[in-house]
Structure 1
Amino acid sequence: MTEPTVIEHTRTNTGPTLPQAPVRDILERAFAEDAPAGDITSQVLIPAQARATAVLNARVPGVFSGATVFRDAMQLVDPATEVDLLVQDGQAFDAGTHLARVSGTARSVLLAERVALNLVQRMSAIATRTAEFVRLAEGTQAQITDTRKTTPGLRILERFAVRCGGGANHRYSLSDAVLAKDNHLAVMTGGDPAKLTGLLLAAKAQLGHTTHFEVEVDRMDQIEPVLAAGVDTIMLDNFSLDELRAGVAQVAGRARVEASGNVNLGTVAAIAATGVDVISIGALTHTVAALDLGLDVELTVG
């Protein structure tokens, strides 16, 4: 069995960046799905020599994500298409802001339009939602992170968008870290909590020293047996606020404390105030609605 490929996000002085190869693969698959034999509408309606300039407009305020994805989508269809990115990834914008301008053959712009918009609308929605959670957790030590509840095939884009919104990424895949959840513990212990520490210690002994080990608990009485195994992070799942505060006090720095479950815009500030280190939120990626961005033709020349 070959080792899994872990895709790392990088950050430059201007913000997070995306690796080109996996993005190109996503775009190629998207265009193969959307235009397997070209765009017959434009082919019969638009002269081959017609050119168009179009503007990516924000119809609502938000945080931008997917600038280079939008550019690459346009230029994958036609490398000669000119794309001027007017707003950078991670930058907040108001309604009415021009985010990018595109110039090229009209057929190319129209063929690329939907794929480019679909991706940038979803990515910007995720960045905007993440920024809301991050703002509500300000003044605490809690870091807002995503989960693996992402759209299959689009994880690298969606998790990049979380970073554009000021959040952080949890483990990228099942291959990256150990995270023992309730079902793992149920199978391991057979319902006998007395076995938990020993089994976790045996599991930890199989790991290299760089592999992160996290365990999820859903009851207060599980905390001490898990900590006794020397785990790196303990996840308190669906704990009440009082239980979170008590759990943080009980852990007392022996491991990082992650809160998960029942996290929304109405609860995140109070959860962050309990002293947890991490708040993981599936809703950053799995329930967002596309942000209202539009590509409007500004000028056509026959």
Structure 2
Amino acid sequence: MSTPDLPLADDGGCGDACGCAGGATAADDVLECGLDPALAQLIADAGLDPVLVEDIAHMAIAEDLDGGVDVTSVATIPEDAVATGDFTAREAGVVAGLRVAEAVLSVVCEDEFEVERHVEDGDRVVAGQPLLSVTTRTRDLLTGERSALNLLCRLSGIATATRAWADALEGTKAKVRDTRKTTPGLRALEKFAVRCGGGVNHRMALSDAALVKDNHVVAAGGVAEAFEAVREEFPELPIEVEVDTLHQLREVVDAGADLILLDNFTPEETEEAVALTAGRALLESSGRLTVENAEVYARTGVDYLAVGGLTHSSPILDIGLDLRAAPVAADGSAAERAV
């Protein structure tokens, strides 16, 4: 398999309150992965675990075949037929998940396959632009097509939506940040897509950092009490506290919170919160946010805008796979191809 050493875009990264060490992947994970070593290394360089990506690829193919075979492809395509397929953007956006798509194809292709990479994850693309070209057995390519596209379109949609927010915040210090509102099993990939779009990641898991929300406050008997309980139990972890009022904000600032989530504050209330905090804690706005008012909130001086919709509501980016027409010999018959 052809795997030129192309760097992957990793624009962004985890936020200051994330305890995941930037998504670092141990070198041993690459060695333990069953993917092509060069592809596995590219995946690891992007901050993803190649073993996880391989597992997701196998799961996607297994789900699509359901213990059988691709009956349509087996019936209509000769076993030894070879073709080149082009993954092509059908609308403008930001691409993410190209190496994931390659991983899906690699677990279904029985023969070696050649890859030509036209763009990198994180690149802006236009309608009609080729993203990735793959030459392999035609049956294998079509068997893996839907699973590869499902992931590629999903991740590119998230990256595209994130880029719209990042563009809206350009010129301010604020960063758009995701949440844990992710698809079960795909969190690492979806948060990777956020980074490709220019956003930053919040915590990857419940164990990375503390986030004291309204239900914790009720259970603990108060916002300051909840903060102090977490600080005592896990003194080494960053703690973010959600507040609904300026009064609660004063309490947690005085208690020493690292990061404070301003839930459903108006822009005017957010300005007051920034002035009251005076740099003693990082501030994150949540609720009431739209791409249209993002700059208004950012200009108040907050550090982050939390947008759960990046991962739970972004539409896909339309990407298709089209086989190239088979070359025709001088006598009018289909020419032989070998890979």
TM over 0.5: yes
Whether 1:169 aligns to 2:201 is yes
In structure 2, stretches of 5+ residues that fail to align are 1-18, 26-40, 327-334
Matched-pair identity in %: 42
- State the distance in 2 between where 1:40 and 1:199 align: 57
2:249 maps to 223
Unpaired runs of 5+ in structure 1?
none
- Write the letter of the residue equivalent to 1:41: T
Residue matched to 1:82: 114
Partner SS for 1:156:
helix
Which among 58, 83, 90 is matched to residue 59 of structure 1?
90
Name the CA distance, whole Å, in 1 between partners of 2:42 and 2:75. 46
Q: Corresponding residue for 1:35? A: 65
Of the three residues 23, 26, 36, the one matched with 2:53 is 23
Note if 1:246 corresponds to 2:260: no
Q: Which moved more, 1:70-79 or 1:172-181?
A: 70-79
1:208-219 to structure 2, matched below 5 A, reads 208-209=235-236, 211-219=237-245
- 1:156 matched to 2:188? The reply is yes
Structure-2 residue corresponding to 1:126: 158
**Deviation digits for residues 192-229 of structure 1, max 9, x if unmatched?**
x5xx43442233122132x1111000111111111122
Q: Shift in Å at residue 299 of structure 1?
A: 3.1
- Equivalence map 1:103-122=2 (5 Å): 103-122=135-154
Q: Is the 8 A contact 1:16 1:163 kept in 2?
A: no
Using the size of structure 1 for normalisation, the TM-score is 0.91
CA gap of 1:249–1:158, structure 2 versus 1, over 3 A, is same
Q: Does the 8 A contact of 1:214 with 1:232 survive in 2?
A: yes
Q: CA RMSD in A?
A: 2.1
Which of 34, 46, 66 does residue 77 from structure 2 map onto? 46
Q: Secondary structure at the match of 1:299?
A: coil
- The yes-or-no answer on 1:68 pairing with 2:99 is yes
* Equivalent position of 1:9 in the other structure: 23
Structure 1 pair 20–265 and aligned structure 2 pair: CA distance change class (3 A):
same
**Partner of 1:136 in structure 2?**
168
Conserved? CA contact 1:122–1:290, under 8 Å: yes
Contact 1:197 1:228 in 2 (8 A): no
Aligned-partner Cα distance in 1 for 2:226–2:87:
55
- Distance in 2, Cα, partners of 1:217 & 1:256: 13
Cα distance in 2 for residues equivalent to 1:261 and 1:241: 11
Asked if the contact 1:16–1:89 (Cα under 8 Å) also holds between the matched residues in 2, the reply is no
Q: 2:228 aligns with which of 201, 204, 209?
A: 201
Match status 1:293 vs 2:319: yes
Q: Which amino acid aligns with 1:146?
A: D
Give distance in 1, aligned partners of 2:123 and 2:214: 38
